[in-house]
Structure 1
C-alpha cells in the first residue's frame, strides 16, 4: 500500500471533485466491446475497496437488499471512515449509478448527490487513504471494466506482493493500465484471464481462482457482476472481510437467524459498520474463501488453500491500531485483545506510579488492562478534539504534525504533582508522543512514564499499511537507543513481540482446543498465525519486485 511521495505539497480540499453518471453494471447481450484499460465508474475516482502498488489502506463494503441499498452503503462507509479518512465511493448494481469524490464522506455524499443515485438492490463502496501513489481520483475505487460478459466492478483492500510481474504479464499481452493501482491490475487480470485456455467464458469463479493461484496475498476483494457480489479473501487471510445480516424491521432484537427471515446481506472490512445500518455480524469470510452474495442468499463457492504447512497471516496491526475496538476478527472482539495486551504489558513492564492514563482513543482498552493488572487507578489526563482526524492516516508529514498540535487538551487537575503512566498503542514515527509529554510536564506532572502496548515497528509493510520507509520509523533512528531522553519521558518500554502474539492468540487457541475436545469438524482455517512482518521483518510470502 505504499504510495510514491507527491512532487510537491498540495493543499488538500474537503471535496476536490464529485462526479455522477449512470453505470450499467449488468451488461447487455452483445454489449459494448471490452476496453483495454479499466476505469473507475467515473473518470478516476475513489470507490469501494482497494489496494495498489501505490500502497493504500482502505475500508471496503458491499450490500444486497431487495428494497435498495443507497442509504445502507452510505452509512456503512461512514462506519469504516476511521480506516481511511478521504476519497469515498460507491458503485450501484444493474441500472444503478456511481458516485465518487475526494474528501470526507459527509462532504462527498451529501443529500443532493444521494438524490441523483438510482435506487439499486446491490452495491459496493470504498474509502481509502493513499499508501503508494498520490491521493488522486484516478487511483480511487471501485474500478470498473467492460467485458464481453458485462461490466464488473472491483474494490480491493491490500497490496499484491508480486504486482510487478503481473503488470508485465498483462502489458506483454497488449493490455494497457491507466494507473499504478494494484486494484486496477486485479480488475484487468479478472477480465483478461479466461478460466480455460482459449475458452473466454463468463465463469467468474474460475477467473477468481486463477487470480488467487497467481498471487498469494494481500487482498480482500469485492467483485460485482450483474446481480451478484463475490467476496474474496486471499489464502493467508491477511486483510479483514466479514459478512453481516440485515435484520427485518420487525426483528430488531436479532433473534431470527433463519436466512428466510433476512432482509439482505452486507459485507465490510469491519463488523463495527453493521449495527448502525440495522445489521448483525454473521461471520468472517475465511482465508482463501470465495463467497457469493446475492440479494437473498450467501453461499460459499470454493476455498483456495495455502501451501501445505503455511499458517494464516492476518495482519496483527489491525488489532494494535487500525480496527475499531468494537469490531470482531477471528471470533474475538478487538477491545478484548487490546485489554489483554495492556495486562501483558503490566507483567512485562511495571513501574512505580500514581495513576495510569492513555493517549485517546485506541489505547484506552490497553490502559484499562494495564491499570487493572497493576492495581492503579485509571484517570483521564487528555481530552481529544473529535473533529481532528487520525494523525497516522494523514497523507503527508505536514498534515500529521499539524493534526497533533490541534488534537489534544490537558486535564491538569487530574494529575498535578503525580507520577503518570501513559499507555500508547504504538509509536510509529514519534510525531505524537513527544509534544504530549511536554504538555503533561508543563501542566504539572511529576513523572511521565511511557508504556507502549505493541512492539517497536522496524520494517515497512508491503501488504497494505502505510509504513513506506525504514527511515520514517523511530525504531530505526539513532535516537531510539535513548528514546526516553529524546521524547522527554522518564522511561519508555514496549510490549514484546511474544507478548503481543500471545495476547492476540490466547482466545483463538482456547477456542480451538475446545473444538478439538468436542471432536467437531476440522477447521477450514488451518494453522493459525499472524503477520508480524512490520515488527520482525519476517514476511509470510516471498516478496517479488
Structure 2
C-alpha cells in the first residue's frame, strides 16, 4: 500500500524514494529502504517483503529544494535514535529560517550529516526530547512525543508538513500557515458495513495517493498536530491561528488533477482558470490545444468558454518525467525534446491557441513553439493559466532566484519575442483567485501568492 501511495505521488519528486517501517515493539530497530530514482526503480518484491511485518510505514519521494543533490544520506525519511526511542521523519516544504535553526542546533553540540532542512527538523525534535527528559524526569509512555513535537512546531515557523513515526504511532503535522497540503484517509475493505473500523489509516500530501476503498477523513488544519494509533485518530494540539497561506501553485501546477484541496478537485479549479482566461484574453484561432498534462483542464475550460475547437497538437512520452522538477537546466532542456512530439496533421496551417499552466524559465516553451512552427503551424498564441512568476519561492518550490524567472526580467512583449510566439497573455491574479475561491469549502481561507506578488507570509530577510 505504501509503495502504491508513493507511485501515485511520483509527480512530487523523482530524485529518490525511501520507506521506513516499524514492527510495533519498543526496540532500536526500524526497517529502512532508500534509493535513488523513481519508485519503480527503488522497490522490488524482495524489498517489499522485508517490510511485510510493519504495522506502520513512513515514505517519501524527494524533490530537492535545499541540500546536497544525489547524496544518499539526504534521502528521506530521516531516522534518528532519540532518548525516547527511534523516530522517522518525512518532510515536505522548506524552512525559511533554516540558517538560524541550523546555527542553534550546532551551537548546542549536535552534529549534522547533511545540509538539508529536513534533517534539522529531526534533530530539533531529538534535542527537545533530551531536554524534556532531563528537566522533567518524564515518565510518560515511550512512543508519545506530543510535547516535543509541539515545541518543534513553535520553533520552526514555515514551511513544513511532517509525518513523524515512533515505534507504535504516527503523527501528522502541518505548519501554522498551512502552506503545504496534508490529508488523512481511512482505508476500509470492499465489504464495509456501517460502524466498521478502518483496516488502516493513510496520510498523504494529496488525496490522489489514497488507495481504493479509502474514505476521506480530513485535511490536517494549519498548525494542527494529529496522532494516529491502532485505536484511532485524534487531534492532540492546535497552534494559535496564523493567516492561512496555502500555496496557490499547488492548484496551478504541482498537484495531480484528481486530488482534492479545500473541498474542491484540482481539475475543476484549473478548468475555471481556463474559462476566465478565455474571457480575459480571447484571440481568434482555429484550435485550442495544450502542453500536456497539467494544463489539460485549463485548455478544456478555454475551449468551452471561447467556442474554439480543442485539438491535441503535442504527444507526450509518458516515460519521461516532469522537466520542471529536474535538478538542473541541462537536464530540464533535454527532458523537453525527449518528452514531446508534434501531431503534425493537427498543426499544419492552423492558428493555435496553446495553453500552459505557467512559464517559469521559458526554455521549455521556446522549444515547443519552435517545434510547432517547424511542423507547419501558421500562428502560435500562448495563453498562460496563471499570472507571471516574478519572485523566488523560499517555501518548497525550487525557484531560488529572480535570475531564473523570465517574467522578472522581461516584459510581456519581450517574453513573446524571446519565445517566438505570435502573442502571449497571462491569467490575471484576480482571475486566478476567483477560480480558486469558486468552489473553496474551507472555513479558514487564504493563499500564498508570494511568487506572483513578492508579498511573503513571513519575514524572509536573511
- Give 2:191's aligned residue: 250
Pick the aligned partner of 2:207 from 267, 271, 279: 271
Number of residue pairs matched by the alignment:
450
Decide whether aligned partners of structure 1 residues 479 and 529 sit closer, same or farther in structure 2, where only a CA change above 3 A counts.
closer
Structure 1: how far apart are the matches of 2:107 and 2:62?
Answer: 30
1:197: how far off? Answer: 8.2
Decide whether aligned partners of structure 1 residues 257 and 401 sit closer, same or farther in structure 2, where only a CA change above 3 A counts.
farther
Secondary structure, in 3 states, of the residue corresponding to 2:459? Answer: coil
1:535: how far off? Answer: 0.8
Farther-moved stretch of structure 1 (157-166 vs 315-324): 157-166
Summarize the alignment of residues 95-244 of structure 1 with structure 2, pairs less than 5 Å apart: 96-135=30-69, 136-193=71-128, 194-195=131-132, 198-199=135-136, 201=138, 204-244=145-185
Give RMSD over aligned pairs.
Answer: 1.7
**So what's the TM-score if we normalise by structure 2?**
0.94
Structure 1: how far apart are the matches of 2:411 and 2:44?
Answer: 46
Pick the aligned partner of 1:93 from 22, 29, 36: 22
1:364: how far off? Answer: 0.4
Structure 2: how far apart are the matches of 1:271 and 1:199?
Answer: 40
1:275: how far off? Answer: 3.5
**Cα offsets for 1:465-498 (capped at 9, x unmatched):** 0112111111123475411121111100011112
- Give 1:363's aligned residue: 295
- Give 1:351's aligned residue: 283
Secondary structure, in 3 states, of the residue corresponding to 1:392? Answer: coil
Would you say the 8 A contact 1:383–1:409 is kept in 2? yes
Would you say the 8 A contact 1:264–1:296 is kept in 2? no
Where does the alignment leave 5 or more consecutive residues of structure 2 unmatched? none
Structure 1: how far apart are the matches of 2:133 and 2:41?
Answer: 45
**Cα offsets for 1:219-264 (capped at 9, x unmatched):** 000111121100000111001110111121323xxxx564x33111
Secondary structure, in 3 states, of the residue corresponding to 1:426? Answer: coil
Secondary structure, in 3 states, of the residue corresponding to 1:76? Answer: helix
Summarize the alignment of residues 503-542 of structure 1 with structure 2, pairs less than 5 Å apart: 503-508=435-440, 511=441, 523=443, 525=444, 528-542=445-459
Would you say the 8 A contact 1:92–1:98 is kept in 2? yes
Pick the aligned partner of 1:396 from 312, 320, 328: 328
Summarize the alignment of residues 486-497 of structure 1 with structure 2, pairs less than 5 Å apart: 486-497=418-429
1:114: how far off? Answer: 2.0
1:165: how far off? Answer: 1.6
Secondary structure, in 3 states, of the residue corresponding to 2:438? Answer: helix
Structure 1: how far apart are the matches of 2:407 and 2:39?
Answer: 34
Summarize the alignment of residues 408-487 of structure 1 with structure 2, pairs less than 5 Å apart: 408-478=340-410, 481-487=413-419
1:282: how far off? Answer: 2.2
1:196: how far off? Answer: 8.7
Structure 1: how far apart are the matches of 2:311 and 2:274?
Answer: 15
Decide whether aligned partners of structure 1 residues 342 and 195 sit closer, same or farther in structure 2, where only a CA change above 3 A counts.
farther
Farther-moved stretch of structure 1 (472-481 vs 136-145): 472-481
1:279: how far off? Answer: 2.3
**Cα offsets for 1:135-161 (capped at 9, x unmatched):** 211111111111221111111101112
Farther-moved stretch of structure 1 (263-272 vs 91-100): 91-100
**So what's the TM-score if we normalise by structure 1?**
0.80
Structure 1: how far apart are the matches of 2:412 and 2:12?
Answer: 28
**Cα offsets for 1:297-352 (capped at 9, x unmatched):** 11111211234xxx200011111111000001111100011011111111111111
Structure 2: how far apart are the matches of 1:286 and 1:149?
Answer: 27
**Cα offsets for 1:441-485 (capped at 9, x unmatched):** 122211110000011111111111011211111112347541112
Structure 2: how far apart are the matches of 1:143 and 1:544?
Answer: 28
Q: Higher relative contact order at CA 8 Å, sep ≥6: structure 1 or structure 2?
A: 1
1:174: how far off? Answer: 1.1
1:385: how far off? Answer: 0.6
Structure 1: how far apart are the matches of 2:418 and 2:383?
Answer: 15
